[in-house]
Chains A and B, each alone.
Chain A
Amino acid sequence: MNTLKDRCAIVGVGETKYTRDSGRTELSMAVEAAKNAIADAGLTTADIDGMVRFTADSTSHSELAAGLGIPWLRYYSELGPLGGAACGLVAQAALAVSHGMANNVLVFRSVNGRSGQRYGSGVVTTRRGQKGSAFTEPYGLLVPGQSSALRIRRHMHEFGTTVRQLGAVCVTFRKHACMNPRAIMHGRPITLEDYETSKMFFDPLRIFDCALEADGACAFVVSSAEAAADMKQPPVLISNATQCMPAEQGRSERGWDDSGGARMAPELFGGAGITPQDIDVIGFYDHFSPVIITKLEDYGFCPRGEGGPFVEEGRIEAGAELPVNTSGGHLSEAYMQGMNQIIEVVRQLRHRSYAQVEDAEFGLVDSGDGSGALVLRR
């Protein structure tokens, strides 16, 4: 049984500015975000004795340790694949802290995702015809957006989900970005009409349906709940952390209806001692808008097939019953591979978001297509 409940906390969060062209190295941004997180916690770099990183990150543990003037780390670890690591890294940090392998673990991600290698072009994700990709890439299935389009097209066919419902997600998150000065799309609202006339990329997905590739870095510090109680910020407890790695599909090529979120939900909420109805705010990994609709279904916020009407009725907007991605998310704040969603939910639970959910107590965050998830608690 998963016994992580409330044993650790996220005690400090930090970011760089999110831009389209940082003009800096990923290492230099990692150092800035890490220093911001450490200072936010009221700690010093000397307090950091553990570090976990994305396997996909170009910055190594030892480079960032040197950048922060930390002579050595007691605990280090990393997690792949590609973008879906953030929540699983929090789990690793919490495991290390709760078992005494480290006191304060730094979690970081730094990426020139716009001015450097762009995930959306497939250069990062292609396996050049080897192994399983021999059966997909020769047909031109090369970039992540195409897979997302295949899945939502089937969802539309089975449940009547519409492009206007995808548009509702995009317009909502843009509205949230306009409340958040850190968002790249701050000050640039869109209407459903703008959405419907925007450039089509992976039919039925338009440009606004795709994550906003960006340059930037995020970091946070995980410590014990006990230590957190005496730190500078109101502690945000890790009420649970779960992961899910589905087997490569054998019989059906795309197992979109067998999602990580649906697999994790019982353990995730059960271990935290809550139900989905207790969640006040959500940070979903929105690499593409359709996943917002399917994740609401996967985690049990609405029945299968009803995610489309759920978003169209405005229920995920700031101020409504279940605000999702209140900083603008990957679609409109920046594509920081799930790290910025964790930071925003921490802000919500500190009651310091620009789009504050009143009395927010429980937050849900996830990574990738449901590769990991957290319940965070004030």
Chain B
Amino acid sequence: MTTANFPLPIPNLDNQVFWDNCREHRLVLRRCNDCQESFHPPKPTCPLCSSENLEWVASEGKGKVYTYTITRQPVNPAFRERLPWGIVDVELTEGVHMISNLVDLDPEQIEIGMDVEVVFERVSEEITLPKFRAV
């Protein structure tokens, strides 16, 4: 499956490290050394305490489906060839949420609370997207 017709991420200086790691099949999160919380997407300062004292930490890559939706109509040309299209909000064990897709699963099988783990899908030379699969 390719996502060529959906917009591809345009990395910037705040998140380039995230995408570089994805290319190496590693999921990383921003963590604040002052309040000890992880967050996502990456930002230049902590959204909870505004600290600039941040580091990149490896995520376990495991979580649960927090919520989901299935797109069933080609509301946008990008969907024409790929309906039904499932989108999930995954809550990682680190407490952060990520919008993603589940691979190797009929969208009709998606359920809230389902255990998932990260997999990586190369979509271009530069970009590899973190996705998830049911475990």
List residues of chain A with CB under 8 Å of any chain B CB: 120-123, 126-143, 145-146, 149-151, 153-154, 157, 199-205, 247-254
Contacts and interface: CB of A to CB of B under 8 A. Distances in A.
A153 B67 contact: yes
A89 to B, nearest CB: 28
A139 B99 contact: yes
User: Main secondary structure on chain B at its contact with chain A?
Assistant: loop
Contacts of A141: 87, 99
A134 B71 contact: no
B48 interface: yes
Interface residues of B, number: 48
A91 to B, nearest CB: 26
Most buried by B among A122, A140, A199: A140
B69 A153 contact: yes
Interface in B43-90: 43, 46-48, 66-73, 75-76, 78-79, 82, 84-85, 87, 89
Contacts of B46: 250
Contact of A140 (B47, B71, B127): B71
Contacts of A153: 67-69, 112
Contacts of B115: none
Contacts of A132: 41
A150 B69 contact: yes
A247 B50 CA distance: 12
Nearest to B9: A134
A251 B67 contact: no
B102 to A, nearest CB: 10
A130 B14 CA distance: 12
Contacts of A130: 10, 12
A149 B69 contact: yes
B71 A157 contact: no
Given A121-B76, A138-B8, A138-B123, A250 B101 contact: no
Contact of B9 (A126, A138, A143): A138
Most buried by B among A139, A151, A201, A249: A139
Contacts of A123: 76
Contacts of B78: 140, 142
A123 B75 CA distance: 10
Contacts of A138: 3, 6-9, 123, 127, 129
A120 B7 contact: no
A150 B6 contact: no
A123 B77 CA distance: 11
A145 B11 contact: no
Nearest to A200: B72
Contact of B67 (A157, A201, A247): A157
Nearest to B19: A134
B12 A154 contact: no
A146 B79 CA distance: 13
Given A146-B71, A252-B91, 15 more contacts: A138-B123, A138-B127, A139-B131, A140-B79, A150-B89, A154-B67, A154-B112, A157-B112, A201-B73, A202-B71, A203-B70, A249-B97, A250-B46, A254-B67, A254-B97
A132 B12 CA distance: 10
B26 interface: no
B43 A250 contact: yes
Contact of A131 (B12, B76, B99): B12
Contacts of A150: 67-69, 87, 89
B99 A201 contact: no
B67 A142 contact: no
A150 to B, nearest CB: 5
Most buried by A among B66, B71, B82, B123: B71
Interface in B19-37: 37
A259 to B, nearest CB: 16
A58 B99 CA distance: 32
A203 B88 CA distance: 12
Given A120-B75, A135-B41, A140-B79, A254 B69 contact: no
Contact of B101 (A139, A201, A249): A139
Contacts of B7: 126-129, 133, 137-138, 142
B71 A201 contact: yes
